Amino acid sequence: MASRDFGTKMALRLLLLLALLTEGLSLRVLGVLVPRVVVSGSSVQLVCEYDHNTERRDPVYSVKWYWNVNQFYEYIPSRPQPVRIYKIPQINVDRERSGKSSVWLNKVGRGATGTFRCEVLTDKPLFETDDQAANMTVVDVPSWGPEVTGVIKGAGSVSGTGGGVEAGQWARVRPGDVVRARCQVGISDPPANITWTVNSNPPPPSALIRRALQVDPRGRRVQFSEMEVTVEEGWLARGGLVLTCEARVDTVFVKTGNLTLVHADHVQIAGFGRYSTDHDVGSGHRVEKIYRQK
C-alpha cells in the first residue's frame, strides 16, 4: 500500500511539473531588431518580437526597453496613457512613433553606443517574463571626401621645374614612372579604413603606403593615405590604368576616388585619361589637379 501511495504522489508531481512547463511556454521573446551600426544624427527603430498565447488568461502586462542597465521606455496597455518615457542622457525617444512592439530614437549620438534590451512581462497569475538584447554602435562618418591628388615623376628625367596639368587635361604616364597618389577624407570616429587598388587589384608588394592625420592647407582636419608606386608595363595593356582609393567606415560609409591615367605613347582610349574623384560609388566625377615633376 505504501508503495502504491508513493507511486501516486510521484505521478501527481510529474503532472504538476509538466503543467508548469506548459504554462511557461505561453510567453517567449523571439528576438530584438537593433541596427548593429548607425550613423550619428540618424533616427533608429528598435523592434521587440515576442510570442504570447492570446488564449491564456494572463495578458501582456508591460513591454520595457533598457539601454545598458537603465530603463528608458515602458509600454503598459492597461493604462490610459500606455507609453511612459524615462529621460536618460543620450537617449531621445520619439513618443509619436513608438508603441507596443517598437521604439523610435531620434538623433542618436556617439554616446548612445551600447546594449539595448527588451523585457516583456505577463499579468497575473503567472507574471512570466522574458527578454532579449543586442548591441548597437553609433559612428561619426567623414563629412567630405574622398579627395584625390597626386604627383607623377618620370623615371630617369632631368631635374627642373615641374608644370601643373590643369583640371580636365589628360595625364599621361610611361612604364617606370613613379606615381604618388594621396587620398584624404574628413575626420571620422572610428577612423576610416582607406585602401588602394591598381586596376581593381591589390597594389604590388613594392608599393609604399602610409597613412596619418593632419591639418590640410584649408585648415581642415583630415585623415589620409598616400601610395607611391612605379608604373608597370602590364598595367597599361589597355592603354591606361586606374588607381582607386576606398574610404570605409564599417558598412555605413563606403566612398571611392579614382586616378585614371593613359599611356603617354598610345592614342587616347575612350574612358581613360581623367584624374577624378568619386564621392559615392557610381556617382559623377569631380576632376582634380595632377602634377608632373621632371
Do 80 and 218 lie in one domain? The reply is: no
Residues 169 and 282 in one domain: yes
88 shares a domain with 177: no
Q: Is the peptide bond before 146 cis (omega within 30 degrees of 0)?
A: yes
- The verdict on 278 and 154 lying in the same domain is yes
CATH code (residue 96): 2.60.40.10
Q: Is 137 helix (H, G, I), strand (E, B) or coil?
A: strand
Within-domain flag for 213: yes
Q: What is the pLDDT of residue 95?
A: 96
Residue 13, Cβ density class (10 Å: 0-12 exposed, 13-18 middle, ≥19 buried): exposed
* Phi, then psi, of 16 in degrees rounded to 5: -65, -45
Determine, yes or no, domain membership for 287: yes
pLDDT at 154: 64
Answer yes or no: are the C-beta atoms of 79 and 94 closer than 8 Å: no
Cell 502586462 found at: 61
Residue 78 lies in a domain: yes
pLDDT digits (tens, 9 = 90+) for 146-187: 999 888 886 432 222 233 333 334 578 999 999 999 999 999
Report if residue 265 sits inside a domain: yes
Q: Is 236 in contact with 265 (CB distance < 8 Å)?
A: no
| Strand stretches in 177-250, DSSP E | 178-186, 193-198, 208-215, 221-230, 240-249
- Residue ranges of alpha helices (H) inside the chain are 2-24
**196-230 pLDDT per residue, tens:** 999 999 999 999 999 998 887 888 889 999 999 99
Return the number of other C-beta atoms located less than 10 Å from residue 274's C-beta: 22
Residue 221 lies inside a defined structural domain of this protein: yes
